[in-house]
Structure 1
Amino acid sequence: MYIPPQYRNENLSEVKAFLKQNSFGILVSQVDGKPWATHIPLELDTDEHGNDILVSHISKANPQWTQFSETAEVLCIFNGPHSYISSSWYQEEEVPTWNYIAVHVYGTLKIIDEAHVLASMHKLVDKYEQNSKCPVSIADLSPKTMRQVKGVVGFQITITTIQAAKKLSQGREHDHPRIIEELQKRDAQAASVAQEMSNSKHTK
């Protein structure tokens, strides 16, 4: 994706933390010569060689998997908080804009066997159930329920390129206090952008 230099996030540890916190992404590949996208959790992990990978699965009813290729590159899109920024919050006249955080991950994909699919499901469920009042565990589900694993295709993506954008009104630092104040008055997305702006200011 196109990222102006001032909005590029090249802090790899920060980007990895973002991917772990915003793992519900979009897998994009070609199906019959056309772009095809599926919204799924794509979990950041490492393979047996210590390489960064994304792990997930999709339904066998989804035709996207039938054209998976180990030689073709796929794209995974991850979105963070975003919000409209009104130029009425600026000290000087300017056009409005949009603040956002997004990461694009490119890589090569290979299908994994059922044992690895089950292992990835254990990790996925344990991650998201840890704060549940009555957490569910894959280990406790009946064989009948777990037969549903036959209906999915698991895969891992070896990461080749990461492009990370973090557009938080850079270059308008003198306007940040007002922008943050106004964002905090709006919806949860806007408040999250305000928090990210505050965090970025404090970590510099």
Structure 2
Amino acid sequence: MYIPKYFKVTDVNEILNFVQENSFGTIVTTKKGRPIATHLPFGFTKHEEDFYITGHMAYGNPQWRTFEETDDVLIMFQGPHAYISSSWYSQENVPTWNYQAVHMYGKVSIQTTDELMEDLTKMLEKYEGHRENPVLWETLSPKLLESELKGIVGFKIKVEEIQAAYKLSQNRNETDYHNIIEQLQKEGNPQSQQVAERMKKR
């Protein structure tokens, strides 16, 4: 990913928090030189000094069969994004787009059944634990779980490279920066307002 110096993010904790908050991403592999992509929710864990991305896909999805022949897989995570009108600048310029994105590269392997069950348990806790009537691993019937496990393939990726870009108008002067925030808040769509909030925090 091309990242100008203004927009490069290197703080690992900040990147990890971003991935946890924007965990629905895209996994990209290749088959005979042609890219293949699947959009999935991912888990993120740390073991000692190594980071791992985990996930699962349908058994019928042919992408998992490319794992053995793929040297590196790419996982892409994206946060809010918004169009930036150059009419919001104090000097003539061209429009652009603000966004947040993280790319991670690594080696992929198929999970064991125990690893997959542990990963699914954590995912249910993350997305269901706060609900009034949570659907958790231990509340589902063994018959249903056995059937569902047969229909998916779990995988884990040892992260070997991280690239992170937060393009949030850091290259604009202070006056323009605050005006962009103000204009984004007026746009009336959630993405623009989320970008404005991210800019305010920075």
Q: Give the CA deviation at 1:174.
A: 2.2
* 1:2 match: 2
* 2:199 match: 197
* 1:26 match: 26
* 1:174 match: 175
Cα RMSD for the two superposed structures: 1.2
Separation in structure 2 between the aligned mates of residue 144 and residue 196 of structure 1, nearest angstrom: 44
SS in 1 for 2:177: helix
Separation in structure 1 between the aligned mates of residue 122 and residue 137 of structure 2, nearest angstrom: 9
Q: Give the CA deviation at 1:32.
A: 3.5
Q: Give the CA deviation at 1:71.
A: 6.1
Q: Is the 8 A contact 1:70 1:108 kept in 2?
A: no
Q: Give the CA deviation at 1:16.
A: 0.7
Deviates more, 1:82-91 or 1:49-58: 49-58
Q: Percent identity?
A: 44
TM-score by structure 2 length? 0.95
* 1:94 match: 93
* 2:150 match: 150
Separation in structure 2 between the aligned mates of residue 171 and residue 66 of structure 1, nearest angstrom: 43
Q: Which runs of 5+ in 1 are unaligned?
A: none
Q: Is the 8 A contact 2:30 2:70 kept in 1?
A: no
The one-letter code matched in structure 1 to 2:200 is S
Q: Is the 8 A contact 1:112 1:154 kept in 2?
A: yes
* 2:112 match: 113
Q: Is the 8 A contact 2:29 2:70 kept in 1?
A: no
* 1:123 match: 122
* 1:12 match: 12
Q: How many corresponding residue pairs?
A: 199
1:144-198 Cα offsets, whole Å, 9 max, x none, are 2112111111111000000000011112132122111111112100000000000
Separation in structure 1 between the aligned mates of residue 63 and residue 69 of structure 2, nearest angstrom: 14
Q: Is the 8 A contact 2:129 2:136 kept in 1?
A: no
Q: Give the CA deviation at 1:50.
A: 4.0
Q: Which runs of 5+ in 2 are unaligned?
A: none
**Runs of 4+ residues deviating >2 angstroms:** none
